[in-house]
Amino acid sequence: MEKRHVFSHEISIITSMFGGSHSPGIVDKELPVRSTAIRGHLRFWWRATRGAACPDAEELHRQESRIFGSRLFPSPVKIWVDQVRSVTGSHVMPVKDRFPAYVAFPLKSSLASRQAVKVRSAKNIPWIYLTGCTFRLNLRIEAWRIRNESARASLLTPEELLKELKPALWAWINFGGIGSRTRRGCGSLYSSDFSPAASGTAIEDWFLRCQQEYGLKLLPLGEYKEWPTLCRTLQVQTAPSERFKAWNETISAYKSFRSFKPNNRRRSGWPEADSLRNITGMAERSHAQSLTVERRTGQAFPRAQLGMPIGFRFKSSREAAWTHQEPGDTEIVPASGSRLASPLLLKVLAVSKEEGYGLIAILNQPPIQGLKLRLSGAANEALASRLKGLMLSSEVVYPALSYKDHPMSKHSLDSGCSRETTRSAVEAFLSSEGVRKWKNSGS
């Protein structure tokens, strides 16, 4: 083994961090930040940034192996964490002004299980989230002597490795996080070595300059690789504000879009509920008339683009006939698999440990190929059996909605302030009224 190169960066967790330990849903009080987890984050963000230049997945894997190791040789990059300090946490959910309630719903089950455990003293109650922590991340680049000639020929020099690692660190710290729910802003990070300055250059200019500095070849919205890559554009508030304020405002804009109800009516302006009524042949009398897709035949699930699974909970009915009841509790999931991470990153872009910009960044992902339904609580066994193997095509994921006051619209570049229908839920969100208001709310 030859010369070693060691680099260190101080990093702070600035928003609530959930999980992060070897046990799901629990914060390890003694070791809240694990180097193995950070290595996984850096691999992902390398693929999303420097990896975007690779022509295909095979080349991506080859280049990634040169940095993070393979079966032929170990990784020349060693990672460890030390000087962990200012560690604070809690076993109860944070107050609303410190944490967006809309982000918490997947975490409520773990909270309930924590509270159900009887412990002898408060010291034994496991933390469910971390309120603060600062640590030092260390990276050591080692030049190994490899006997295998083909493997030795593919080795990168320490300078080349550093060129690959810096963009991954930059992206992880500014657009990622640590623990659970990082795409919704949990476990956001700050480091003076990689975060933007509190004043001076506009964030959009900073983002463009960093792409040039790190030699990134990011794609525009709508173009994609076989793996998720960071989009070359982002949305950010016009001014920084207190970190929890910026976080809450960003999540609020997303919540407003996801729960869209035109003209303050009680029923959703999204087509998924009416689509499920059409598929199952079930609907309460008051909901028998579809307000969105064509009755009986229409099917559209555009919110699947924003991440899955999506659960639908219909209110129970007192009707005796099952066809006059609402569908049972239903989930939509990808045709292959059970989960699809959201392409939207909604978080705080920190400029200090206390302040940051509300940020909406996008991961360009391959198109969804189809959906399947998971129906629980069905009215009868025949219906459950009929829906069990039902597959929905990609056309229902990217529909061209035509009913009045639908949420899938964007500003037309050709006609000024008029709007046109889009098949992209991400484009519709970025062009929504809520996002336009959000951009100016940070000041």
**pTM, to two decimals:** 0.90
- The tokens describing 443, both together, are 């000041």
- Neighbour-count burial for 57-93, b at 16+ CB within 10 Å, e otherwise: eeebeebbbbbbeeeebebbbebebeeeeebebebeb
Q: Other C-beta atoms within 10 Å of 318: how many?
A: 7
Report the C-alpha dihedral over residues 174, 439, 355, 168, rounded to 10 degrees. 0
Cα–Cα distance measured from residue 284 to residue 379, given in angstroms and rounded to the nearest whole number: 13
Judge residue 337's burial from the number of C-beta atoms within 10 Å of its C-beta, 0-12 exposed, 13-18 middle, 19 or more buried. exposed
Q: How confident is the model at residue 116, as a pLDDT?
A: 42
Closest CA to 343 of 362, 367, 366: 362
SS3 state of residue 199: coil
pLDDT in tens, the chain (443 residues): 445 689 999 999 999 998 877 776 678 888 889 999 999 999 999 999 999 999 999 999 999 999 998 887 789 999 999 999 888 877 676 666 778 888 877 666 555 544 444 444 445 567 778 888 999 999 999 866 555 555 556 688 889 999 999 999 999 999 999 998 999 999 999 999 999 998 777 999 999 999 999 999 999 999 999 999 999 999 999 999 999 999 999 999 999 999 999 887 888 999 999 999 999 888 888 888 999 999 889 999 999 999 999 999 887 666 555 666 788 788 899 998 889 999 999 999 999 999 999 999 999 999 999 999 887 654 556 667 767 778 999 999 999 999 999 999 876 544 445 679 999 999 999 999 999 999 987 55
- Is 130:138 a contact under the CB 8 Å cutoff? no
Tell me which residue of 341, 360, 363 sits closest to 431, measured CA to CA.
360
Give SS3 for 165: helix
Which residue is associated with the tokens 């109650």?
125
The reply to whether omega before 94 is within 30° of 0 (cis) is: no
